Structure 1
Amino acid sequence: MKSLKLEEFTRYKFLSGIELSPKGKHAGFVVHGSNLEDNNYNSNLWLYNLKSEGLTQLTALDKESNFIWLEDGDSIIFPTVRDEKDKKKLESGESFTQYYKININGGEAQKFFKIDKRVTSIKQVDQSNFAFAGIFDHNEEDLSSLNEEEKAKELKKKKEEKDYQVIEEIPFWSNGGGFTNKKRNRLYIYDLKTNEYKAISEATHSVNTYIVSPNKGKILFTTQSFEGVVSLSTGIYLYDIATQSTKTLLQEGEYACGYTDFIDEGSIVFAGTKGEVYGMNENRKFFQLDIESGEVTCLTPELDAGLYNSVGSDCRYGGSTSYKVEDGNLYFVTTEGENSYLNKLNIKDKTIKKITHGEGSIDGFDVIGGNIVFIGLRGLKLQELYSLEDQEKQITNFNQWVMDEIKLSIPEALTFENSDGITIDGWVLKPVDFDDNKKYPAILNIHGGPKTVYGTVFYHEMQYWANEGYFVFFCNPRGSDGKGNEFADIRGKYGTVDYDDLMQFTDEVLAKYPNIDEDRVGVTGGSYGGFMTNWIIGHTHRFKAAASQRSISNWISKFGTTDIGFFFVDDQQGGTPWNNVDKLWWHSPMRYADKVKTPTLFIHSDEDYRCWTPEAYQMFTSIKYHGVEARMCIFKGENHELSRSGKPKHRIRRLEEITNWFNRYLK
């Protein structure tokens, strides 16, 4: 067995996009891997035969990152650009999506059809029609309607406009999406025979989810209206393909909805919340809506769990399905405690059954005809594909080498009752090759969110630090997911009860693990964890070094500069710069910067529009002004997801910066 090296994550494989064929005979999925030469990720399509249990790699050009099954069950289509002429058109500024088709039984992928839009997702309706969501830009002409001369003129104009950015609405940008002014994710119907498409959602609306009805006659979709200021609630609509008409099933203003699907031709299910008790982070429930009458019935009145996987890890890439209606049951993922689980809701009798029980996370699944497959993190294993019958069965071994070759530290649970009588769950990683006769430095790691959780799944950065001779400890303070609405609700309390939990957890760790040198303890975290790192260094000097990542330092400036600031700050801090500026400033770490003594490293990305760079600049400037050692590393071309899906070389440099900083002050 060998020690884990910093750059070892470039050998990991990440799985996503799991989808069963229409008859449930095969499962398609995507395998991603790092490409250091191009400083990017390679992605290829793979196939699993449920009967023979055989695995096949379908593509090998490293560019196929998503796909859908066609209804024949033998063919897959996927977007990619392979033709040199198509590559030149994209370089010239044209927007289109080229789809290729491949038969899973053999043969090369062939061009299938091209849509003159940047398609974000697509679903087959029938042999001749597809529904797709694509980017609609109010600022640009539709090139497909222009002749060659007009097209050349418009492309020239588009190129010249790159020197300017006009904004007229909020949010005016999105993390990972850049400036989004007057751009919408719009829903369309594409006719394969005529090569024409038609918009079926409003030009001012952005589509979140959509699904084709079982009889292929209707399309159910959710949108948020966006005229000047984006709506925070969701409307649900039903489009009739034959009559080309749209019916409103649920008006905007009633619920924030994250998912919807058909139960049958007469009713739908949706996950929603009004946020009346716990605000925007309130756990959603499932509701049934009768299409004819509009009557809404809650299916899960007692359910109080996050309806998604919020178990943190830096070893994922890409996404997968988290909900599915199948044969009268709704399958869905919940986060409970430090794990996420797959559940089955019997819609008729409203009973819920947990159908996975292992520790770890469900990162995506699919189910057809009783066949269930999922991508998951199990124990300290990295992502693999699993099937589920009476019990879980591991299908792939892409990352088995980690378990076979690498020294890992097993998380040790440390649960305690805080000063308010609430149970807090935490864990400690001992240094690899731990020697009871030695003293060691330690790192407190704080998760983002705050409504996410740490668990016992594999975390590259923490395993690396354990291999470098550090204790690493982490917990789920109040504000975290997994324990219901009341536990997660820290609106107006940031930096108070959550800070108390983290400090008491640190006390508990130091008491239980005397081999930690309490004079050599550091603290780090990203996003909310970055906020908390900034807060901690202004309220205690117990940590000898800090690394603040994609942080928040000033709730007043965050309100007006970030993609979620204008609603997140008001909801979570209980005020705006006009009605409660004193409260916003009281909860801002920058207010306490003159108290900081801790040497601090700031890590930030210049395209992080969730926590924009001025948050780090302000805190960096403030503590430098007061004579504190500080360093700041800005990653160009990266966003809020740097530590999870940033370019491989950038992820290496990020972890080098943090580790070197801690080595400097803690070793």
Structure 2
Amino acid sequence: MKKLMTAEDLTKIVSVSHPVYSPDGKKAVFTKVTVNEKKDDYNIHLWVRDEETEELAQWTFEDGKHHQPVWSKDGRQLAFILQKPKEVPQLALMKSEGGGVRTLTTIPYGVSHPVFSPDGAFLYAAVSLKQSESVHDEKKEEQDDFAPAVYDDLTYKADGRGFLDGRVTQIVKVDIDSGEIEPVTSEQVHHMNHTISPCGKWLAFIQLNPQIPYISDVCLLSLEDGQTKKITQANGAYSTVSFSPNGESLLYIGHEREFQNATFPSLWLYDLKEEKTVQLSEMLDMYVGNCMAGDSVMGEVYQLPQWTKDSQGFYALVSDQGSTGIYYFSIEGLAYPVRLEAEHITNFSLHPNESKLLLSRLSPVSPSELYEMTLGETELKQITFEHHDFLKEHIVSEPEPFSFQSKDGDEVHGWFMKPSKMEEGKKYPLILEVHGGPHAMYGYTYFHEFQMLASEGYAIVYINPHGSHGYGQMFTDRVRGNYGDVDYDDVMQAVDHVLKAYDFLDETRLGVTGGSYGGFMTNWIVGQTDRFRAAVTQRSISNWISFYGISDIGYFFTRWQIDGDIYDSVDKLWDRSPLKYVKQVNTPLLILHSDEDYRCPVDQAEQLFVALKELGKDTRLVKFPKASHDLSRSGHPGQRIQRLTFIKEWFREKLA
């Protein structure tokens, strides 16, 4: 007898990810993220696959997070980031022939992003430092809990990091033999996502001034004379840099903010000799990268493009129509899909002989596993089977894709999930789920929250309304300045569509929920219609006027997305604020929010709760202490289970 999915089953999900082939192709390292229930935390361990015997071996065992693995060019060493419980992350090293873990650094401020020098003698890594701090400090300065905090900068807090203390990301050079650490950068801006040229003469990185929102530059630092030059001119947002194997080109990913933060990333190629840049993906109206929304992927790192050894092209992730897949791009600008199926690929590695790929993949009915793909073939060979027993023992509801024509005339894509167990002649309630962003994408991935609700006897509908990624730049941009307009029409049309298509749905028992932008939409929906009998709003926005000044992104996000500010268009902000329509809310509303959410701060929940309570409405506020905006995806396992339980119990009570 198969079991139904529960909130607690979240702890059974393993994230298998970040495969990296060794330079000789004989081994591949990857990471496994598992829940450590005793410590209410996660362990990340390194595993290695022997490509000849196909055996899998665990290489790290202690509690903690062992991640961001990188091979030396000769394949003899494996560097990674090691974060022991209650300690800051440090740089660590292992020999590929075997042996123990050697911790290279004891920097009190933590280390990230290891990159080997071509000769394997050094590692370049990132450290977050104040001007007064040094990588040679033996311990952090003592903090006075009662000292006043003084801020001079516009950007003074960040979700997941809290209130900032003037630290910026610097690059350091670590001697592998001696452990000696030497600063490489010192300018008081962030130096991020660095990479080194094959010749070892250049370090490329993204430079970000923390006081200028959503502007970053691609920079080249000469390791011979220490001079830095900017490839871009402070006109866009960039995230990734990668040298071609012959060292002649620098590939970078980003955009020039044509549609502000709704702009699709593009691929750019900089010729180091000619000092000229060309845009490779100008004709590709697709999102380069992974923009999938979900709750079952942990420990992800940004996927670097994978160059072919002849330096004539590379492979990269692309998101399209609810799928994330792999495209090949030539340096002349040609592009074609290598794999784009109904699935969610999160990371991949190209074998050195370019015959195959190792990839991490989720499907709508399976959390992540590792697969081998022979180039030119369509069949995948499964490498890990972390969820074999879990899926065999549980009922899994398989989403059914559908589409309809919006009022604008565009095709809108969505999915419908039946309840996990159904009886002939019985009517079932329907829950509408709305994703965050709004510039993200629902798709062909495993979503534990949806599976739990299906096991509770609910049908689920979720779509990619206007504003979502994956359907072209203009579709994504359509929602800016029009929140609660075309997107509201889309989600309501989706409800009507499935109610008409499935006669076992009970149109009198409708629920709605969503987080972040999806929380805004939930608040907006219950202020516009009484069709829903129950709602759960999560990490939401209720008041754009207060959001402007209290969110870590409020002052620019509000201008870009709502097309208004608190100086000249406060009426427009209020008109698009769900709080304005609170008197019209008759739907019982559960409000879930994290206490340390600085993206959509907790006052958004409190304002809504107080107004509803004062008006005698049916509402409840639940706050999660010490949790950030990312609670549902990477929060403490115990709180993630509690969150799911609150959602389940609210709908169970109100949709009975």
TM-score, scaled relative to structure 2: 0.94
Matched AA of 2:65 = E
Query: In the TM superposition, what are the counterparts of 1:483-498 in structure 2 within 5 Å?
Result: 483-489=471-477, 490-498=479-487
Please list, as runs of the form range in 1=range in 2, the aligned pairs for 1:511-526 lying within 5 A after superposition.
Answer: 511-526=500-515
- Residue in structure 2 matched with residue 68 of structure 1 by the alignment: 70
CA drift at 1:551: 0.3
**Structure 1 residue 241 and structure 2 residue 243: aligned?**
no
For 1:634-658, what per-residue CA distance to the aligned partner results, in whole angstroms no more than 9, with x for missing partners? 0011111111111111111111111
In structure 2, the partner of 1:384 is 369
CA distance in structure 1 between the partners assigned to 2:303 and 2:328 by the alignment = 12
Tell me the residue number matched to 2:99: 107
Counterpart contact for 2:434–2:515, Cα < 8 Å: yes
1:252-291 Cα deviation digits (max 9, x unpaired):
2x22212222234333122222122x22211122122223
Distance in 1, matches of 2:43 and 2:166, equals 32
Aligned twin of 2:158: 174
Shift of 1:309: 1.3
Q: Write the distance in 2 (CA, Å) between the matches of 1:81 and 1:119.
A: 9
Deviates more, 1:541-550 or 1:295-304: 295-304
Secondary structure at 1:593 match in 2: helix
Do 2:213 and 2:556's aligned partners in 1 also have CA atoms closer than 8 Å? no
1:573 Cα offset (Å): 1.0
Aligned residue number for residue 127 of structure 1: 120
* 1:558-637 mapped onto 2 (5 Å cutoff): 558-637=547-626
Structure 1 contact 453–481 (Cα < 8 Å) conserved: yes
Task: Indicate if the aligned counterparts of 2:351 and 2:358 stay in contact, CA closer than 8 A.
Answer: no
The alignment-based identity, stated in percent, is 32
Q: Residues 302 and 141 from structure 1, CA distance in 2 versus in 1: closer, same or farther, beyond 3 angstroms?
A: closer
- Which residue of 1 is the match for residue 307 of structure 2? 326
Shift, 1:116, TM fit: 5.5
3-state DSSP class of the match of 1:660?
A: helix
Matched, 1:359 2:342: yes
One-letter amino acid matched to 2:228: T
SS in 1 for 2:53: coil
Structure 2 vs 1, CA of residues 231 and 201 (structure 1 numbering), >3 Å: closer, same or farther?
farther
Q: How does 1:147-158 map to 2 (within 5 A)?
A: 155=141, 158=142
Query: Cα deviations across residues 384-426 of structure 1 (Å, max 9, x unaligned)?
Result: 0111212322111011123311111111223111222211112
Q: Secondary structure at the match of 2:232?
A: strand
**How far apart in 2 are the matches of 1:342 and 1:310?**
13
Residue deviations 1:11-55 (CA, integer Å, cap 9, x gap): 111123322222222111111111222111122111112222111
Report the CA distance between 1:197 and its aligned residue: 3.2
- 1:527 is matched with which residue? 516
1: CA distance, partners of 2:272 / 2:83? 41
For residue 230 of structure 1, give the secondary structure of its aligned residue in structure 2: coil
AA aligned opposite 2:102 = Q
| In structure 2, C-alpha distance between the alignment counterparts of 1:81 and 1:499, rounded to whole Å | 44
**1:604 counterpart SS class:** strand
Is 2:216 the partner of 1:211? no
TM-score (normalizing by structure 1) = 0.92
CA separation in 2, counterparts of 1:326 and 1:592? Answer: 53
Q: 2:266 aligns with which of 275, 282, 285?
A: 285
Amino acid at match of 1:437: G
1:273 aligns with 2:266: no
Q: Judging changes above 3 Å, is the alpha-carbon distance between structure 1 residues 366 and 143 closer, same or farther for their aligned structure 2 residues?
A: closer
C-alpha contact (below 8 Å) 1:171/1:563 kept by paired residues: yes
CA distance in 2, matches of 1:81, 1:271: 29
1:452 to 429, 437, 440: 440
Contact 2:66-2:83 within 8 A present in 1 as well: no
**Match of 1:309?**
290
| Residues in 1 aligned to 2:122 and 2:107: alpha-carbon distance in whole angstroms | 12
CA distance in 2 between counterparts of 1:220 and 1:44 reads 29
State the 4+ residue runs in structure 1 displaced beyond 6 angstroms: none
Report which stretch shifted further, 285-294 or 40-49.
285-294
Are the counterparts in 1 of residues 344 and 444 from structure 2 also a CA contact under 8 Å? Answer: no
**Using the alignment, how far apart are the partners of 1:408 and 1:116 within structure 2?**
45
Separation (CA, whole Å) in 2 of partners of 1:379 and 1:466:
13
Counterpart secondary structure, 2:287: coil
Write the distance in 2 (CA, Å) between the matches of 1:7 and 1:611.
27
Root-mean-square deviation (CA, aligned residues, Å) is: 2.0
Worse-superposed segment, 286-295 or 126-135? 286-295
Query: In the TM superposition, what is the alpha-carbon distance from 1:143 to its structure 2 partner?
Result: 7.0
Distance 2:301 2:338 in 1: 18
Q: Which residue of 1 aligns with 2:42?
A: 41
CA contact (8 A) 1:324 1:366 kept: no
Structure-2 separation of matches of 1:170 and 1:261: 31
- Structure 1 residue 596: deviation in Å? 0.7
Q: Distance in 2 between matches of 1:222 and 1:242?
A: 19
Distance 1:313 1:98 in 2: 29
**1:593-642 Cα distance to aligned partner (Å, 9 max, x none):** 11111110011001111111011111111111221111011001111111
Structure 2: 5+ residue stretches without partners? none
Identify if the C-alpha distance between structure 1 residues 635 and 97 changes in structure 2 by more than 3 Å, giving closer, same or farther: closer
User: In 1, distance between residues paired with 2:417 and 2:135?
Assistant: 56
1: CA distance between counterparts of 2:46 and 2:631? 24
> Matched residues in 2 for 1:399 and 1:99: separation?
31
Does the CA contact (< 8 Å) of 2:108 and 2:137 recur in 1? no
Q: Which residue of 2 aligns with 1:467?
A: 455
Cα distance in 2, alignment partners of residues 443 and 267 from structure 1: 50
CA deviations on 1:88-122 (whole Å, 9 max, x unpaired) are xx87xxxx754433234333323445446421221
Residues 337, 483 of structure 1: 8 Å contact kept: yes
What is the match of residue 428 of structure 1? 416
Structure 1 spans left out of the alignment, 5+ residues: none
Distance 2:48 2:137 in 1: 39
- Judged with a 3 Å threshold, the aligned counterparts in structure 2 of structure 1 residues 531 and 145 are, in CA distance, closer, same or farther, namely closer
Q: 1:194 to 1:306 in 2, by over 3 A?
A: same
Matches of 2:369 and 2:432 in 1, distance apart?
A: 29
Change (3 A) 1:142 1:527: same
Secondary structure at 2:629 match in 1: coil
Q: Partners in 2 of 1:564 and 1:576 — Cα distance?
A: 13
- Are residues 1:401 and 2:389 paired? yes
Q: Distance in 2 between matches of 1:124 and 1:604?
A: 41
The residue number in structure 1 matching 2:53 is: 52
Q: Does 1:649 align with 2:647?
A: no
Q: Once the 2 structures are TM-superposed, how far is the Cα of residue 159 of structure 1 from its aligned partner?
A: 2.5
Q: Which residue matches 1:375?
A: 360
In the alignment, is the contact (CA less than 8 A) between 2:401 and 2:415 conserved in 1?
yes
Q: Which moved more, 1:212-221 or 1:9-18?
A: 9-18
Letter aligned with residue 184 of structure 2: I
Counterpart CA distance in 1 for 2:359 and 2:18 is: 10
Answer with 67-76 or 301-310: which moved more.
67-76
Task: Measure the CA separation in 2 of the matches of 1:372 and 1:320.
Answer: 18
